[in-house]
Amino acid sequence: MLLSNYYHFPARELFGNAIYGTIPEEFGKLSNLVSLDLYDNNLTGQIPHTLGSYNHLRFMRLQNNTFTGIVPRSFITISTLQVLNVSGNCIDTSVPNPLEVVDFFAKFGEASFANNPKAGC
């Protein structure tokens, strides 16, 4: 099923459901979310920068999909974010400025970028 079909669901714990497609930009407008769990699906495309507009988000788990591009810088502005997991995707983890990465990781209690890009990217 396409992820956009789940936009109106109150819960965003949609892991392991063979969902495909991209994350709709509109997901960034769900400002009261505490947890966004989209891991272990077949999601593709870039992670939208609009996901950085959450005010209450504590957990963002996007691992084991096929996301491309980079992790949006807007994520650093989510002051409540404790866990960020984007491992097992096709994300570009090259680092133009190592000091930015230190600041980025220091922000979260737990962050994983492991296995990027995964085999087959």
**CATH number of the domain that residue 15 is part of:** 3.80.10.10
For 77-104, how does the pLDDT look when each residue is reduced to its tens digit (9 = 90+)? 888 988 999 999 999 876 556 556 666 6
Domain membership flag for residue 119: no
Chain centroid offset of residue 34 CA? 13
Is residue 48 a part of any domain in this protein?
yes
With 0.85 as the threshold, say if the pTM is over it. Answer: no
Among 121, 4, 118, 1, residue whose Cα is nearest residue 64: 118
Share of the chain above pLDDT 90, in %: 31
Inter-residue contact 58 to 80 (CB < 8 Å): yes
pLDDT of the residue at 103: 67
The answer as to whether 50 is a domain residue is yes
Question: Would 118 be classed as within a structural domain?
Answer: no
63 C-beta neighbours (distance < 10 Å), count: 24
pLDDT tens digit sequence for 30-53: 777 888 999 999 999 999 999 998
What average pLDDT does range 60-81 have in this prediction? 90
d(CA 115, CA 101): 17
Q: Does 121 map to a domain?
A: no
Count of domains forming the chain: 1
Give a yes or no: residue 71 inside a domain. yes
Closest CA to 47 of 64, 14, 66, 72: 72
Domain annotation covers residue 102: yes
Beginning with the edge strand found earlier in the chain, give each strand of the sheet holding 20-21 in spatial order: 20-21, 42-46, 66-69, 90-91
For residue 65, give its domain range: 3-112
